Chain A
Amino acid sequence: MKAAVRHLLRNRRRSLLTLAAVIVPVYILVLMYGMVSGEMRGLFDGTVKLRTGHFQVRAVADRPEGGALPLISTPQPLIDLVDSLPGIERHVVRLDLPALAAEADHSQGVLVQGVSTDQKDPIADLVTSGRFLDGDGRSAVVGEGLARLLGLSIGDRLILLGSHPDAGLGVANPTVVGIFSAPDDTLSRSVVDVDLPLAQQLVRQPGAATAIVGYVKGVDGPWDAWKIERAVTTLRSELPTGYEVLDWRELSPDIDLYMRIARPIMTLFTGIFFVLGGLVVLNTLYLSVMERTRELGIIIALGASRRQVMRMVFTEAGLIAVAGGAIGALAGAALVFVIGAIGGLRLPGAYSGFMKAFGMQPILHLRVTVPEIALSAAVMVAVALLAAWYPARRAARLEPLEAIHYVQ
């Protein structure tokens, strides 16, 4: 070990360059993990909070793409079933239906979301002026985009003309009590939250719903999706005929697809840096072996086995890899920590628009776990040891006499 350190110190500049080549991929991988995890959490939060929940129980029906969900006339047994499952944090009863929202001479097609106010709806957190629904059955909360389109302010009356294939047309005239700001412009323009009884009034079926939206305890991001899957599996086994349960992946297949491909693509991208780092390690060790041919010949002549000679080369590779891996991983983790401490990473224009389109805030809250940090460093150590294989093998196969008489 001591000898390996001294060998590395022999040519400090080359060793430092090699160290840098090891540090950079690990640093980038840790940052990549932080960014991807942050982005995933943003996507997940935007999706499950504002759109899908962790899962939804619905009535089974054939319906056209984007059409109204079938009505569940007596949702209480389903609510009781969801609440009885272990690990369920809460539920929201929803009645969604397409409607026309109008004020004076302006109108806009919207999705009316009737929500039960006994359980907190995520949109309540996004209200920027006024208040959220209080269950009086006469109120509505609209997005900033819709308020701007229809010229609505707090206290204005809104005409909602609902249309549901199971119930025909219905009209309601709620008062706008709150305006919410959604990261997604589409959501801001097209969603009207109303008390559940008001939505039931639009379909003229008191007590009806279109979905029971469930939330599972202890879910902090997509990495906890297994908890949702576990709950959904249990629920599926107990669900009566005529109903289905869909998890967030099935409810947002585009988000699911993006999440599935984002990490492999970025890993592949980062892999290029690892390959380059490995090549630099290989080059350094190969040159080192060439320079020390005579010395290695003496070591072999004195009786070192091939395994011992290979171990000497691997020790040097391991030292560089462990030191570089640790520095890269700690530096990456430190940057993630600093970005977290200053409130996240504000993204530039084009990327910000992309994030908003997916219902996410244009600020990345980086997140990296200890296993991810350790994995980043471990991958580099593995790459470096792999890269050391060829020079180590060459060193071990030297013929002692030829090596001793080797002249550079």
Chain B
Amino acid sequence: MSNSDQLIRTERLEKTYRTDSVETPALRGVSLDVSSQEFAAVAGPSGSGKSTLLHLLGGLDRPTSGEIFLEGVPMSGLSRDELARLRLERIGFVFQDYNLIPVLTVIENAAFVLELRGVDRRARTQRAGDVLAELGIEKYASQFPNRLSGGEQQRVAIARAVVAQPAIVLADEPTANLDTEASLGLIDLMRRLNEHKGATFLFATHDSRLLDRVRRVITLVDGRITGQTTP
């Protein structure tokens, strides 16, 4: 792997949550590289620090110590607004609970990130429509999210995450609320986007059935990387 392929690098990442006098370490010295066009999973039991790792990589939270480099840029020095801009321009998110915006239609949800970026209405509608078609949900374009099934809503969330072609899509337990068929379908969809569009995916899961579909598995236990495998 050359340095130019390196998308994310973390150095001895620590995260400790403090509540009153109680300290709960969530990550303990995580050093990790993620390359461009990877399709990787962070696996581990509940409470192992998967979500915390993704939140830190996505700039949604700040580490207690250690450093994250996104495309070579250290994230610790970025202000709140700079982190927001970084998320907007370089990172796509898929959440466990879909987290679509209820007052926006499917196509408006898919185009939302482009709207935040200031892309004009026609261009963003066109682009979002194309992505919805790629994901096979274009027929729901004018519907509101509450009319869709969980699997369909998560596809819309993926459309929203990839529509602006970010450097990486971080997905936190994207299949946690889906049945097996929908879960496998969603992972296959993400993998197709990875293979055909070159989108980089890093997703957290505790579902071992999904792991044979990824190219790399990073295993976290008690906040430490205990293994990295290539199935």
Interface residues of A (CB under 8 A from B): 2-3, 6-7, 10, 294-295, 298-306, 308, 400-401, 404
In the assembled complex, B87 has its CB within 8 A of some CB on chain A: yes
Which residues from A are CB-within-8-Å of B201?
none
Whether B84 pairs with A305 at a CB distance below 8 angstroms is: yes
Which residues from B are CB-within-8-Å of A3?
101, 103-104, 108
Whether A303 pairs with B99 at a CB distance below 8 angstroms is: no
Whether A300 pairs with B84 at a CB distance below 8 angstroms is: yes
In the assembled complex, B61 has its CB within 8 A of some CB on chain A: yes
What are 15 A-B contacts with C-beta separation under 8 Å? A3-B101, A7-B103, A295-B101, A299-B116, A301-B87, A302-B87, A302-B88, A302-B160, A303-B86, A303-B91, A304-B88, A305-B84, A305-B88, A306-B80, A306-B84
Contact of A302 among B55, B80, B108, B112 (CB under 8 A): B112
In the assembled complex, B60 has its CB within 8 A of some CB on chain A: yes
Bound state CA distance, A299 and B60, in angstroms? 12
Whether A302 pairs with B113 at a CB distance below 8 angstroms is: yes
Which residues from A are CB-within-8-Å of B99?
294, 298, 404
Whether A401 pairs with B61 at a CB distance below 8 angstroms is: yes
Which residues from A are CB-within-8-Å of B87?
301-303
Per DSSP, chain A at the interface is: helix
In the assembled complex, B139 has its CB within 8 A of some CB on chain A: no
Whether A10 pairs with B55 at a CB distance below 8 angstroms is: no
Which residues from B are CB-within-8-Å of A298?
95, 99, 101
Closest chain B residue to A307 by CB distance? B81
B: interface residue count bin: 20 to 34
Bound state CA distance, A3 and B115, in angstroms? 12
Which residues from B are CB-within-8-Å of A404?
95, 99
Q: What distance in Å separates the Cβ of B58 from its nearest Cβ neighbour in chain A?
A: 8
Closest chain B residue to A294 by CB distance? B99
Which residues from A are CB-within-8-Å of B93?
301-302
In the assembled complex, B227 has its CB within 8 A of some CB on chain A: no
Whether B103 pairs with A10 at a CB distance below 8 angstroms is: yes
In the assembled complex, B89 has its CB within 8 A of some CB on chain A: yes
**With A400-B60, A401-B55 in contact, is A306–B113 under 8 Å at CB?**
no
Which residues from A are CB-within-8-Å of B58?
301
Bound state CA distance, A304 and B117, in angstroms? 9
Which residues from B are CB-within-8-Å of A7?
103
**With A400-B60, A401-B55, A404-B95 in contact, is A303–B101 under 8 Å at CB?**
no
In the assembled complex, B102 has its CB within 8 A of some CB on chain A: yes
In the assembled complex, B85 has its CB within 8 A of some CB on chain A: yes
Instruction: Encode B96-125 as 1/0 by CB contact (under 8 A) with A.
Output: 000101111000100011001100000000
Q: What distance in Å separates the Cβ of A374 from its nearest Cβ neighbour in chain B?
A: 30
Whether B116 pairs with A295 at a CB distance below 8 angstroms is: no
Bound state CA distance, A10 and B60, in angstroms? 29
Whether A295 pairs with B113 at a CB distance below 8 angstroms is: no
Whether B113 pairs with A303 at a CB distance below 8 angstroms is: yes
Closest chain B residue to A295 by CB distance? B101
Whether A304 pairs with B101 at a CB distance below 8 angstroms is: no
Bound state CA distance, A305 and B58, in angstroms? 15
Bound state CA distance, A300 and B87, in angstroms? 9
Contact of A306 among B61, B81, B91, B102 (CB under 8 A): B81
Bound state CA distance, A404 and B95, in angstroms? 10
**With A400-B60, A401-B55 in contact, is A304–B84 under 8 Å at CB?**
yes
Bound state CA distance, A303 and B114, in angstroms? 10
Bound state CA distance, A302 and B113, in angstroms? 7
Question: Which 10 residue pairs are nearest across A and B when measured between Cβ atoms?
Answer: A303-B88, A6-B103, A303-B87, A298-B99, A401-B60, A400-B60, A305-B84, A304-B116, A3-B103, A303-B84
